[in-house]
Structure 1
Amino acid sequence: MTKNYTPSLESDYRQCQSLIRQHSKSFYYAFSTLPETDANAVYAVYAFCRMADDAIDQAEDAETGIANLRQLEDGLDAFVAGNMPQAPMWRALGDVVDRYDIDESMLYAQIRGQEMDVHFEQPKDMDDLIHYSSHVAGSVGKLLLPILSDDLSQERKANAEKLGIAMQITNILRDIGEDMREHGRVYIPASILNDYGCSVAQLEERKVDQAFMDAWEHLAREAEVLYEDFRKEILHYKEEAQLPLLVSLSVYREILNEVRSSNYDCFSKRNAVSMTRKMKIRNEESQFLKNIKDA
């Protein structure tokens, strides 16, 4: 543990670490190899985003969800004003803000994104979906940027946001069944479903046919273009962050291939990347970095 952490702060970070280890094995696998201070910062940002997500998804009804978000936003208002709420996540996040040039407006964007789920409407088109995804996931990319890179230019921020959007689209494609079953939400834009002749009723029936696969693949290609574009960004990041970031990107991208391998069954199972495949991805990305640096 970094020597200028207090024992209390060490404990706060460990609680944040336990959240990411429990809820996002892919992110933890990728980012746990960062230098300790940077890894802890990632854990704290994740813990805030997890709290915002749980405020809605674990609420019994919309009214409770909104009340949970208002309580979180009240805590954020106090945090930004310098009145630290006395809870592990806030204390850890306070240390992160002291160490890095965090854009606190992205914490508010995260809350606004969760509000969209309370008043949920199926996206009409890709613009709607990108608007939503930029709040709930693009904001995460911008929050992590100053932890992982010393270049905080507008170009870097825009591309970090796009990576978050790609990951959110991947989540949507993985969780179609879960989102419908547990939350009554369909995130695939209506225009895309209509273009391929796939209806919401068909999704409710868990019918996997060519129309569904074509609509699914349309959205998957949108994510894969963003993933591929981001690879060109990697040398703008700290050297010690380059491999963890590429591993994170490629493990998430591999979720799409897992769905394909299961014949597009994203209704009855949660497709995941095996540890064996994750280890292979790490080796592949390590070789990729070596090649582009030797070129």
Structure 2
Amino acid sequence: MQHDSAEITKQAKSNLAFALQILPKERREGMVSFYAFCRVVDDLADDPDRPINEREASLLAWKVGLENGFPNPDPLQAEVVALIERHSIPVHLLTAIIDGCLMDLRPQRFGTWEDLSQYTYKVACAVGLASLKVFGAQDPASERYAVELGHALQLTNILRDVGEDLANGVRIYLPLADLGRFQYSERDLIGRVYDGRFVAMMNYQAERAASFYAEAVAAMPKSDAKALVPAEIMRSIYQTLLEKMKRDGFKVFDRRYSLSKARKMAIFSKHFLRLGPTV
């Protein structure tokens, strides 16, 4: 299968693709390649038209190719290998992302936040840590920022996608111990029971996400502030989204929350102005 990284990113219309517009050309092109890799492996895991064994084989082929070299790389694979070399990205971060996608092949349950955090590390924190290299972040403290932000972003995604994940193979990412804390059962969730218990449980998750956002802000080194502007745009968009869901009582069973283009542009502009005249 042939993949054009620029086309993949353009079609995605994601918040990340939006945030990348602020980067200098070479770094933006690097992130387009990296984003296309993330999109392709994620889509491989979620493709309902292909048998699970086939999807697993394709993901493992990516993993083996990254670790040992691709025998006949397609254009995207060649791009990703060049990207890793150009920005000295540790290969284990990309294979961690693939491991996260492999976990999605067979929907599972997470008993506690500690269990879930191992998944969020693979599918989000590893993405952030690899992105630091392409952004040109230099301070080791930025790694703490990337990890805290990764957990926050993925948890926000999980809260937004509760209804969609149930519809897609009855996937449940919310920690079962947290459901139990509010006497709200797995059966209640599958039955889409919307009541005070559900809202309280979702608010509990939102507080956890908010504390990760706060930890990320506290960890961000001033020396990398400019390099991390795309990540800060992502943080602002997702934090605003989290607040929007919270204000609305997390009606995630019957709607998908998003921000308007105008709201995103306002966030983008605010961070762009902070860059000053040097960009």
Corresponding residue for residue 20 of structure 2: 31
1:128-143, aligned counterparts within 5 Å?
Answer: 128-143=115-130
Contact 1:146 1:152 in 2 (8 A): no
Contact 2:163 2:253 in 1 (8 A): yes
Contact 1:16 1:44 in 2 (8 A): yes
How far apart, in 2, do the equivalents of 1:224 and 1:58 lie? 32
Contact 1:145 1:152 in 2 (8 A): no
Contact 2:45 2:101 in 1 (8 A): yes
1:186 aligns with 2:175: no
1:76-87, aligned counterparts within 5 Å?
Answer: 76-83=63-70, 85-87=72-74
Q: Percent identity?
A: 26
Corresponding residue for residue 30 of structure 2: 41
Task: Pick closer, same or farther for the CA change 1:252–1:22 going to 2, 3 Å.
Answer: farther
How far apart, in 2, do the equivalents of 1:82 and 1:205 lie? 46
Q: Which amino acid aligns with 1:40?
A: E
Q: Which moved more, 1:47-56 or 1:74-83?
A: 74-83
**Cα deviation, residue 131, structure 1:** 0.8
Task: Pick closer, same or farther for the CA change 1:182–1:82 going to 2, 3 Å.
Answer: closer
Q: Which moved more, 1:77-86 or 1:224-233?
A: 77-86
Contact 1:55 1:65 in 2 (8 A): no
Structure 1 residue runs of 5 or longer lacking an equivalent are 1-10, 291-295
1:160 aligns with 2:166: no
How far apart, in 1, do the equivalents of 2:129 and 2:241 lie? 23
**Cα deviation, residue 89, structure 1:** 1.6
Task: Pick closer, same or farther for the CA change 1:289–1:126 going to 2, 3 Å.
Answer: farther
How far apart, in 2, do the equivalents of 1:265 and 1:18 lie? 33
Corresponding residue for residue 254 of structure 2: 268
Task: Pick closer, same or farther for the CA change 1:82–1:227 going to 2, 3 Å.
Answer: same
The CA RMSD measured in Å over matched residues stands at 2.4
- SS of 1:183's equivalent in the other structure is coil
1:205 aligns with 2:194: no
1:21 aligns with 2:10: yes
Query: C-alpha offsets along residues 81-104 of structure 1, whole Å, 9 cap, x if unaligned?
Result: 344643232122122123201011
Contact 1:34 1:244 in 2 (8 A): yes
How far apart, in 1, do the equivalents of 2:70 and 2:197 lie? 53
Could you tell me which of 101, 106, 112 is aligned with 1:119?
106
Contact 2:45 2:105 in 1 (8 A): yes
How far apart, in 2, do the equivalents of 1:288 and 1:229 lie? 21
**Cα deviation, residue 147, structure 1:** 1.1
Corresponding residue for residue 80 of structure 2: 93
Structure 2 residue runs of 5 or longer lacking an equivalent are none
Q: Which amino acid aligns with 2:193?
A: K
Query: C-alpha offsets along residues 57-76 of structure 1, whole Å, 9 cap, x if unaligned?
Result: 11357xx2343232233244
How far apart, in 2, do the equivalents of 1:41 and 1:181 lie? 34
How far apart, in 2, do the equivalents of 1:289 and 1:83 lie? 39
Could you tell me which of 255, 261, 267 is aligned with 2:241?
255
- TM-score (normalizing by structure 1): 0.84
How far apart, in 1, do the equivalents of 2:109 and 2:9 lie? 28
- SS of 1:141's equivalent in the other structure is helix
Task: Pick closer, same or farther for the CA change 1:156–1:33 going to 2, 3 Å.
Answer: closer
Q: Which amino acid aligns with 1:116?
A: M
1:222 aligns with 2:211: no
Matched positions, count? 274
Corresponding residue for residue 43 of structure 2: 54
